[in-house]
Structure 1
Amino acid sequence: MARYGQRPENALKRANEFIEVGKKARALDTLQEVFRNKKWTYNWAESVLEPIMYKYLELCVELKKSHIAKEGLFQYRNMFQAVNVSSLENVIRYYLRLAEEKTEAARKQSQQAVIDIDDLDNLATPESILLSAVSGEDAQDRSDRTILTPWVKFLWESYCQCLELLRTNAHVETLYHDIARMAFAFCLEYVRKTEFRKLCEKLRKHLEDISKLPQMASNVSINKMETQQLNLETRLIQLDSAIQMELWQEAYKAIEDIHGLMNLSKKLPVPKTMANYYQKLAMVFWKAGNYLFHSAALFKLFQLSRDMKKNMSSDELQRMANRVLLATLSIPLPSAHPEFDRFIETDKSPQEKAQKLAVLLGLLQPPSRASLLKDIVRLNVVNLASPAIQDLYNWLEVEFHPLDLCCRVESVVTTLQQDESSPLLQYIPALQDLTLVRLIHQISQVYQTIQLTRLIELAKFTDVFHLERLLVDCVRYNDMQIRIDHGKKSIHFGVDLSEAQREDHPDGPVLQAMPSEQIRCQLVNMATVLHRANNIINPNKKKQEREKLRAQMVQYYHDTKVKEHQRILGRHKIIEERKEYIEHMHYVREQEEERRQEEIQRQQQLAEQKRLEQEREERERKRQQSEIQQIKDRTLKEKMQQISQTSHGQKVLKKLDEDEIKKLDAEQIAAREAEELQKERKETQQKLKSQEKKVDYLERAKRTEEIPLIIKAMEEKTEQAKQLWEQQEAERIQAAIEERKQMEATRERLARTKEEAESFLEKIMAERKSIYLEKLAAFEAKLEQERAKRLLERKIQRKIDRKLQWEREIAEAAERKRMEEERAQREEERKRMEEERAKREEEEKARRAKEEAKEAERLAKLERQAEISRQKELEIEKKLEEDRLKAMERDRPQPSSWRKNLGGESVGGGSSWRIKQEARERDGPRDRDVPRDRDGPRDRDGPRDRDGPRDRDGPRDRDGPRDRDGPAPRWQRGGDRNMDRDRNMDRDRNMDREDNRDRPRSDFRFNRDRNYDRNMDRDSKPMENWRNASNVKKEQAPARDPPSREIEKRDPPKENKEEKKNDDDGWATVTRR
């Protein structure tokens, strides 16, 4: 049977046969054709295809055919994703479990390959030493690259394929996230950082694709709470894995994804999830060197833990408070003017970055060191910390003790260093730097000049270079006035009175202000006093200005009130136009949405056409490949014939069996032949090498004898080099001594000119002092002019501000009045609408009462009409009964004498049944020879009124609403025994009639007479001819509808003239018969 026509069971059996003989590739091809065949795949249940899929995946894993496994899994997903999701899940988990087991076995094999060494005494062979020197790899690395790496790659491809397979199906969403977590564990176990980055990007792209999917039941919806929770848990595992692998960039991206998912969710995450999020976020910020946001994250974690965890112990609370307080104290002091950003606002990236990080913590604005300290004090975190940490806070932020500050902080640091496993050890370097900066700040408040050695004594845990670097940073970032004198080894603070520090309050404890700050405050105090003096001189000036301004505002109101009124009236028109515009925009959006849906459908149709075209091209490609394969087979056959004619080719063919020959092509067979030739050449070369070994032995012996001579020559050369070096070193020392003598002479010569230089400098300073005083006087005069000018401008500006304030108050009062009027109008409108609604309800109630009365009257009328109809029906039935009796009397047979013999005696006696049924005698003239109702003209054979209305074309009682609860009509309940008889009785009678046709005449006659007598006894009425009665009923039945016992809100019966005509026709027929 052809492979494409095999049934799945047969294909599995065939594949097992191939596996038994060791042809796994052929077995895989056989199973692959089952899933490629569109004729069978959708016609078999999972119980048939699931074992085939398991075997298929086993072969793919053993042969490392990940692309073939992907194709099969996609086909299996298309078959069972909407039918049996559990089968698809079991298959995928089985596939991944096989891949993981193979990878683990390969790792053990790789490790064992390194352990299995021939010579344990000589672990480092010459070959391994050379390889490690060239490639930089040891034996384990080379073994992993050869044995383990292919399986690791296969397992990674398997994870990617399964994630791509399940990314949009809502039924296997849990399996998708399980596989993602398995992939994270794989990256951690095998330390695959590159694959971890690719996996994170893949998951991020899948999440973007999910948000763009149409809303369908089978698609994953990011708006579902379950989907959001699964994605959040997966991203938390991703964050944890990134931290363990120290991929901080990926950890930050994972944090952004987690924050986006939490914002997307309408429900807040559980406190445990939030605590884990803040903990990981704090770790990432610490690794990034951002101590400020690290402390903010720990503070958020502390708040969450204390609010949500009610049973928190005091030790745990103290431990968290210690960490939060230490992290906050370790934050470096903020820069007074970060480079040029204080003067030129060009680069906003630091502010934007800080805002972005604040959003991750759920803060409205970026935190600062001062704000965090205020929050810590406000929430009583300081009192919750240990006494040592509380003292540290007081020493750094509250108290002013520059001489003992470093000693006290060093005692706390020593206490922290006693516990080597404490997480607080990471804050010690930052805490020491902050302590040194605090020391420099406090020293600058006390000393104007201090010796560098004294400052180093106060700073216990630093050296000269680190301290000098801190001083430079304080000048650069903290806006301090510091000058270092290296000649005198001293430090000067606050020596420039013309430059003041920043205006905000300095951070930390302060003893007194700097001289420059005092000058700046003096000018402010002077301005305050002058302002008070001006108010005392002119006490009524402000009142007059207010009166004038009030009059101007009243005049302005009268000038603009009409215009404002028109503007308010025009506002309503603008609102209506805006509403119309919004409705138009909604309509336009709906039209655009419809067009978009149509475009999507069109794109789907194009995609389907493209898929069909690709399938057609695939079939064409396979056909071409089959033709190419046939050509190759033919070429192979010809090549085999050529090779078999040579001796080398015959040797090659003897080594190959039929299956191996089928797997090889012509080039490979030629390569085998060439390999055989190469083997013979190697044998020849081996003989030559044996001769070379002899030559090498002789050469080695020569060189062995040369070794002592070479060693002697090297020793002599080394002795000569040593003597040369000693001579050069002595010359260098002598040159250095002479150079020092020359430099000392130069220093003594220049020292004699020091006093003259100082006197020259004093002379220059005396000459320039007069020029300095003149410029100072000019500056003070210009300063007075500028002060007067600015005071005048400020006075004018204050007038303008007061006028604007008065106008604003008037406008607010008018607006409040207008709003009150509108509120009163709305209240009146509401009352009016309530009155109208009550009036409408009363009218509606009266109308309903009137309609109910009309309905009752109509029902009564209908009841009367129904009663009239019933009377008419009873009269019609009575008349029909009378006509039926008359017809029976007329059709009754008369006694005849044709049975009597010549003697005047009747044959067989004078029984009553022969008198009644003499027409049935077989030998005499039979009753059937006379005109019978069956053979004569029948009413159904006569002219029919086919063009007239028929009862079945008109309304039927069965087509209308049925009253199943009311009593059934009389023709269903069995009212008249002749007209409304049981249908089962009619059916039995018809069957008896068919049987009577085959009976002897005597039996038939006897049965008929018996039935006649029974009917006469039962009804006390003569029995009419059954065929005539049947015909009469067939003609009369459609002429009337069965009477109804109850009428429930139905239309009154209409008297149709055509129905009356049908009734008259029925009467004429019965009368004629």
Structure 2
Amino acid sequence: MARYSQRPENALKRANEFIDVGKPARALDTLYEVFRNKKWAYNWSESLLEPIMFKYLDLCVELKKSLIAKEGLFQYRNMFQSVNVGSLENVIRGYLRMAEEKTESAREQSHQAVIDIDDLDNVATPESLLLRAVSGEDAHDRSDRTILTPWVKFLWESYCQCLELLRTNAHCETLYHDIARMAFNFCLKYNRKTEFRKLCDKLRKHLEDISKLPTQVANVSLNKAETQQYNLETRLVQLDSAIQMELWQEAYKAIEDIHGLMNLSKKPPVTKTMANYYQKLAMVFWKAGYYLFHAAALFKLFQLNKDMKKNITPDELQRMACCVLLATLSIPLPSAHPEFDRFIETDKSPLEKAQRLAVLLTLQQPPTRASLIRDLVRMNVVQLASPQLQELYQCLEVEFNPLTLCKRVKAVTMELTQDEQYIAPLQDVTLVKLIRQVSQVYQTIDFKRLLELAVFTTPFHLERLLVDCVRHNDMQIRIDHGAGCVHFGMDLSESPREDTRDGPVLQSMPSDQLRTQLINMANVLNEALRIINPNANKEEKDKVRLDLVHYYKENMAKEHERILARHKIIEDRKEYLEKLNSVREEEEAKRQGELIRKFHLDEQRRLEQEREERERKRQENEIQQIKDRHLKEKMHQISQTPHGQKILKKLDEEKLKALDAEQIAQREAEELQKERKEMLQKLKSQEKKIDYFERAKRQEEIPLLEQSFKEKLIEEKKLWDEQEARRIADLVKERERAVLTRERLARMAKDRQEFMNKLQAARDKVYQEKFAIYEKKLNEERKKRLAKRKEDRKKEREANWRKAKEEERKRKIEEEERQRAEEERIRKEKEEELKKKEKAEEERKRMEVLKRQAEIQKKREEEAIKRLEEIEISLGFKSAPSDKKDKKDDKLTPWRSSRMREREEATRGETSWRDKDDTDRGSFSRRDDDRERGGFTRRERDDDRGFGRRDRDDERGFGRRDRDDDRDRGFGRRERGEDDRSFGRRIGDRDDFRRGGDRERDRDRDFRRSDTAGVGSWRSARNDPEPQEPVMRRGPPPEDRPPQKQMDKGEDKGDDSDWKKVSRR
């Protein structure tokens, strides 16, 4: 794809063109190239890139490409996060706004689709009922899933991407928290609980990452007050959203985050924030069932408003006091043995949970019901509450009146309209109080009587409370179902702990009396001793006081010195700690600098890895897009055919992704072949079936048809008779009507004839006038057309004459050209024939010269052999030749030089080597420098190489292959002419030539050791597939090689080319 790396306007213009023609994907790719080009992207201003970015994000929203939008936003952030934060903020806000608008329009479209589909007269159709029974969702849910859900997912991904984009940038901190709040509103609006949990986890992870970042100007720092305030406000919005969505676990986590941020801040939060915090905390505690901490949170809220709010009204103060008092009185009575929880194997014991919850309320230790009631009394909360609640407090905490307790509490709770959530806990507390007071008055009470006293409960609930009192409050109760009564305090065993008074007590229980008997006895004895001897304690105290004064006077100086020494030790310790702190600070600064440097390096490495990863993913995406495009095109082609559609129906999306275009095409071919086979088989079986049924049907219907034919004949004859009789009757009636009509119209015949005559005369006159006009126009038109036709024929004859004349001229010119070409061809043929004759004559002369030279050389060799034999005989190395040896020597040939042998072989096989050379080269031309040097080149003239193996030892002459090659590769009959054929006959036939060659090789074999001046023969050069390494031997002295000098001097310049051929062979 093309890259627009010069001007961004070109890319924007090109993208608009793609959009106009309906190709938004191509437009998006075009704009993406602008931000991917790192060479120029950082040199462009935001005024140019901002419109491109808006168009880019608009296309991403239209196509739902959230990942591509993320890449573009990351590139834009890297370019402008430190240059123009406003542009980045506008782009991100615009992107989210477009996504929200699309999601809202999809929501409206989904609702409209439901309205359009639903039938108002028949709301519950059978189809909708079946779908609802199977899937558990109605038409609205299905419409949301198909239309709204994709856009909701896209909007959620957009929020997450923007939060990831801005999480560590200090310049975009406000935008980050605004987007977080928008995301919370999104979760509320579309009721996305799962996404809300993920969003809370994501924000918590971002906060942890921020706390680990090094201190830099561009990074977000939690030490800044503004950052702390932003995070605190965001967590409060998170808490509100969690409460509205009833996600109490997320609300509790948000409270912990808020508390951590408040502790991190150096200055306390504002009163309004703390009030909101305590209010939400109390709500979360109430929903979690922690009534004790709910009341404690409300009490903290009451204290905060009372102390900090200046213009608080008495009504507001009374309202808050009533709420705090109700929450405190609603706290269940504490368990009598909480130490048992230590032995329960749970993740966190109740004590640890209480400690954590107390920390959220900024309390040193967990509160208790008794401590909260004391605080209410101390802060005058009871006096600030309404009279009804003051009476409720008196009933539950001060007065002892079990017979009217529940009635009075019921009268108060019936007036609680605004705080109805406290009625049930208050009733349970009242019932427990009732059971405790009744246990102190009665030893046994009828269950019905107890139920009458508890006016707002049921028997089952009351019995359950009795069991809980035994289990948790350590009361001794026994229920007698047979007698229908309840027994209290029947066990005189020791109580396991000392009770704390939770209300008014009339008398102690027997178990309490047994447990406190020894304590009461000790108190009574101490009191009796004090009464009997009142001065004993005074004398003892005076003695102790004198001892203390004496001890102080003795140790006063030592104590003073010890205090001074301690002061000095403290000062030295302070100085040491200051030095140690300074050293630690320096080390910490160095370590921080090293961490910052390491962080920068890691960040650069990470950015580079991310860039490489994005580039790799982009390339993979491009390759995948190309493959997908090819696959779609192939699938589109396949889907045009019926068998292709069947293949696509059989394959699901996963299989289609796993296959490529070739495999799909192969599947298509296989399916087509299979369909053809099935169709042929089906046609054959259908043909047999039809033939069988048709034959059977015809056999069965033959008698039926005969019978039907007979019946039809009878019916048709009967029908014909009836129709004939009806026709005759109709004709008779028609005749009668016609006679009557003729008689009726006969009297008007005269008038009719007169009228017709008048009308005929008038019409004839008009006709004659029009016919005369027509004849006149016809004659004029005929004359015009005849004149025009005459003129056209004249022009046509003239054009034909000119055309024939031009064709005749061209024909004459072509004929002349053809004659000239024929004459030129004949002339060239004659010249070529003359040249061939001249060459043949020259060749004949040259061969005669070679033959004469060979004969002279042969005579010289024979004379040399004779002289050598005579010398050997005279020296005694060899005996005189006998007759038998003479016969043997007659077969030996005299010694010859290699050059001479080459010439003789060339003479015998002239036709062959000449033909081959001409075939290879195509002409007799040679280089000018070779022609100037004579017959042989310097290398051939001075070469000392001997014969090759084949030249020395081969006893054969020309083989069949050599003969055939010479014959086939030579000149054609037309090129050689008669001179070549006569030359071949003069030299001798092939058999003679072959025998001569054998004799020459026999002679060469006797003298092969003494000849070193020759080169490889032309026969080895032609027959051997590869040239053999020449054998280097020392040859005779230069004077033994006269033929070469003679050839160099005696030969004519005109034969140079032929000699060069021989030498090269």
TM-score, structure 1 normalization: 0.56
How far is 1:83 from its partner? Answer: 1.4
Residue in structure 1 matched with residue 384 of structure 2 by the alignment = 384
Instruction: Check whether the contact 2:239–2:254 (CA below 8 A) recurs between aligned residues.
Output: yes
1:474 and 2:469 matched: yes
CA distance in 2, matches of 1:587, 1:175: 40
| 2:921 paired residue number | none
With over 3 angstroms needed to count, the CA separation of the structure-2 counterparts of 1:578 and 1:325, relative to structure 1, is closer
Residue aligned with 2:298, SS: helix
Q: Which amino acid aligns with 2:413?
A: V
Aligned to 1:173: 173
Distance 1:2 1:461, change over 3 A: closer
Q: Secondary structure at the match of 2:445?
A: strand
How is 1:317-328 mapped onto 2 (pairs within 5 angstroms)?
317-328=317-328
Q: Which amino acid aligns with 1:496?
A: D
1:487 aligns with 2:475: no
Unaligned runs of 5+ in 1: 653-663, 692-1073
Specify the SS of the correspondent of 2:243. helix
For 1:623 and 1:319, the matched residues in 2 are separated by 68
CA gap 1:384/1:12 in 2 versus in 1, 3 angstroms: same
Post-superposition shift, 1:608? 2.1
Distance in 2, matches of 1:241 and 1:622, equals 39
In structure 2, how many angstroms separate the alpha carbons of the residues matched to 1:79 and 1:295? 54
Q: Which moved more, 1:60-69 or 1:338-347?
A: 338-347
Q: What is the CA–CA distance in structure 2 between the aligned matches of 1:481 and 1:42, rounded to whole Å?
A: 84
Residues 574, 112 of structure 1: CA spacing in aligned structure 2 closer, same or farther, 3 A cutoff? Answer: closer
Tell me whether 1:433 sits opposite 2:438 in the alignment.
Answer: no
Q: Does structure 1 residue 497 correspond to structure 2 residue 492? A: yes
- Provide the rounded CA distance (Å) in 2 between the counterparts of 1:36 and 1:25: 16
CA distance 1:249–1:141, shift in 2 (3 Å): same
State the alpha-carbon separation in 2 of the partners of residues 349 and 366 from structure 1. 14
CA 497–390 in structure 1, closer or farther in 2 if over 3 Å, else same = same
> C-alpha distance in 2, partners of 1:627/1:398?
84
Aligned counterparts of 1:574 and 1:595: Cα–Cα separation in 2: 30
What SS is found at the alignment partner of 1:170?
Answer: coil
* Correspondence 1:24 to 2:24: yes
Distance between the aligned counterparts of 2:140 and 2:133, measured in 1? 15
In 2, distance between residues paired with 1:559 and 1:359? 46
User: 1:46·1:87 contact (CA, 8 Å) conserved in 2?
Assistant: yes
Letter of the aligned partner of 1:527 in structure 2?
A
Q: CA deviation at 1:257?
A: 1.2
Q: 1:944-955 to 2 correspondence within 5 Å? A: none
Distance 1:123 1:481, change over 3 A: closer
Mapped contact 1:271–1:308 kept (Cα < 8 A): yes
Over 3 Å counting, the alpha-carbon distance change for 1:208 and 1:100 in structure 2 is same
Distance 1:651 1:355 in 2: 69
Aligned to 2:43: 43
Equivalent position amino acid for 2:460 in 1: F
- The answer as to whether partners of 2:342 and 2:349 remain within 8 angstroms in 1 is no
The structure-2 alpha-carbon separation of the partners of 1:15 and 1:675, relative to structure 1 and needing over 3 Å to count, comes to farther
Post-superposition Cα deviations, 1:135-157, rounded to whole Å, max 9, x if no partner, equal 22222222111111111000000
Distance 1:125 1:675 in 2: 45
Structure 1 letter corresponding to 2:294: H
Residue in 2 aligned with 1:100? 100
Which residue pairs with 2:191 in the alignment? 191
Cα separation, partners in 2 of 1:633 and 1:473, compared to 1, 3 Å: closer
| Partner of residue 224, structure 2 | 224
- The alignment covers a number of residue pairs equal to 671
Aligned pair in 2 of structure 1 residues 16, 615: CA closer, same or farther (>3 Å)? same
Q: Displacement of 1:216 after TM fit?
A: 2.1
Match of 1:448 among 443, 449, 460: 443
Residues 151/678 of structure 1: CA separation in 2 closer, same or farther (3 Å cut): farther
Cα distance change of structure 1 residues 7 and 345 upon mapping to structure 2, 3 Å threshold: closer
Distance 1:291 1:623 in 2: 61
**CA apart distance, 1:437:** 1.0
Q: Distance in 2 between matches of 1:266 and 1:328?
A: 33
Asked if structure 2 preserves the Cα contact closer than 8 Å seen for 1:479 and 1:502, the reply is no
Q: Is the 8 A contact 1:7 1:40 kept in 2?
A: no
1:504 Cα offset (Å): 4.3
- Looking at structure 2, the residues matched to 146 and 633 of structure 1 have their Cα atoms a distance apart, in angstroms, of 26
Alpha-carbon distance, 1:487 to partner: 2.6
Contact 1:99 1:155 in 2 (8 A): yes
Give the residue type in structure 1 aligned to 2:288: A
Q: Give the Cα–Cα distance (whole angstroms) in 2 for the partners of residues 541 and 322 of structure 1.
A: 51
For the 8 Å contact 2:197–2:250, the answer to whether it is kept is: yes
Q: Which amino acid aligns with 1:583?
A: K
Equivalent residue runs for 1:501-520 within 5 Å: 502-520=497-515
Structure 2 contact 336–499 (Cα < 8 Å) conserved: no
CA contact (8 A) 1:339 1:477 kept: no
8 Å Cα contact 1:96-1:158 kept in structure 2: yes
Q: What are the residue-to-residue correspondences of 1:728-767 with 2, within 5 Å?
A: none
Deviations 1:237-258 (A, max 9, x none): 1111101100000011111111
Q: The residue matched to 1:5 in structure 2 has which SS?
A: coil
Does the Cα contact within 8 Å between 2:4 and 2:10 map onto a contact in 1?
no
Query: CA-to-partner distance for each residue in 1:286-311, whole Å, 9 max, x for gaps?
Result: 11111111111122222222333333
Change (3 A) 1:113 1:538: closer
Q: What secondary structure does 2:414 align onto?
A: helix
Pick closer, same or farther for the CA change 1:52–1:673 going to 2, 3 Å.
farther
The 1:141/1:620 distance shift into structure 2, 3 A limit, reads closer
Query: What SS does the aligned partner of 1:415 have?
Result: coil
User: Structure 1: which amino acid aligns with 2:208?
Assistant: E
- Tell me how far 1:277 sits from its aligned partner: 1.5
Where 1:340 maps in the other structure, the secondary structure is helix
Q: What letter corresponds to residue 153 of structure 1 in structure 2?
A: K
Distance in 1 between residues matched to 2:410 and 2:632, nearest whole Å: 88
Which secondary structure state, in structure 2, belongs to the residue aligned with residue 510 of structure 1? coil
The residue aligned with 1:401 is 401
Q: In structure 2, what is the Cα distance between the partners aligned to 1:49 and 1:599?
A: 36
Deviation at 1:573, TM superposition (A): 6.8
Q: Does 1:359 align with 2:359?
A: yes
Q: 1:575–1:118: structure 2 CA closer, same or farther, 3 Å change rule?
A: closer
Aligned to 1:137: 137
Question: Given the superposition, is the C-alpha separation of residues 233 and 680 from structure 1 closer, same or farther in structure 2, using an over 3 Å criterion?
Answer: farther
Q: Percent identity?
A: 70
Query: In the alignment, what sits opposite 1:160?
Result: 160
* SS across alignment from 1:168: coil
C-alpha separation between the residues in 2 aligned to 1:29 and 1:356?
55
Tell me the alpha carbon deviations over residues 117-137 of structure 1, each in whole angstroms, 9 at most, x when there is no partner.
Answer: 286545444443333232222
CA contact (8 A) 1:501 1:516 kept: no
Secondary structure of the residue aligned to 1:484 is strand
Matching residue of 1:906: none
Q: Which amino acid aligns with 1:441?
A: R
Name the residue aligned to 2:984: none
User: What secondary structure, in the 3-state scheme, does the structure 2 residue paired with 1:206 have?
Assistant: helix
Once the two structures are TM-superposed, the CA of residue 187 in structure 1 deviates from its matched residue by: 0.3
The residue number in structure 1 matching 2:590 is 594
Q: Partners of 2:640 and 2:438 in 1: how far apart?
A: 105
Contact 2:494–2:515 (CA under 8 A) maintained in structure 1: no
SS at match of 2:274: helix
Written as runs of structure 1 = structure 2, the 5 A alignment for 1:541-556 is none
Contact residue 248 and residue 284 of structure 1 kept, 8 A: yes
Q: Tell me what 1:259 maps to.
A: 259
Is 1:460 aligned with 2:455?
yes
The residue matched to 2:340 in structure 1 has which SS? coil
Structure 2 unpaired stretches of 5+: 648-658, 687-1065
**Equivalent residues of 1:111, 1:140 under 8 A apart:** yes
Q: Which residue of 2 aligns with 1:748?
A: none
Deviations 1:76-134 (A, max 9, x none): 11111111111111111110010001111111111222222286545444443333232
Distance 1:15 1:672 in 2: 39
Aligned position for 2:310: 310
| Distance of 1:146 and 1:642 partners within structure 2 | 29
| 1:1003-1055 C-alpha deviation (Å, 9 max, x unpaired) | xxxxxxxxxxxxxxxxxxxxxxxxxxxxxxxxxxxxxxxxxxxxxxxxxxxxx
CA change 1:671–1:160 in 2 (3 A) is farther
Alpha carbons of structure 1 residues 209 and 249: separation in structure 2 relative to 1, 3 Å:
same
Task: Look up the match of 1:608.
Answer: 604
| Contact 1:99–1:154 (Cα < 8 Å) also in 2 | yes
Aligned counterparts, 1:898-1047, within 5 A: none
- Asked if structure 1 preserves the Cα contact closer than 8 Å seen for 2:396 and 2:430, the reply is yes
2: CA distance, partners of 1:346 / 1:666:
61
What is residue 583 of structure 1 aligned with on the other side? 579
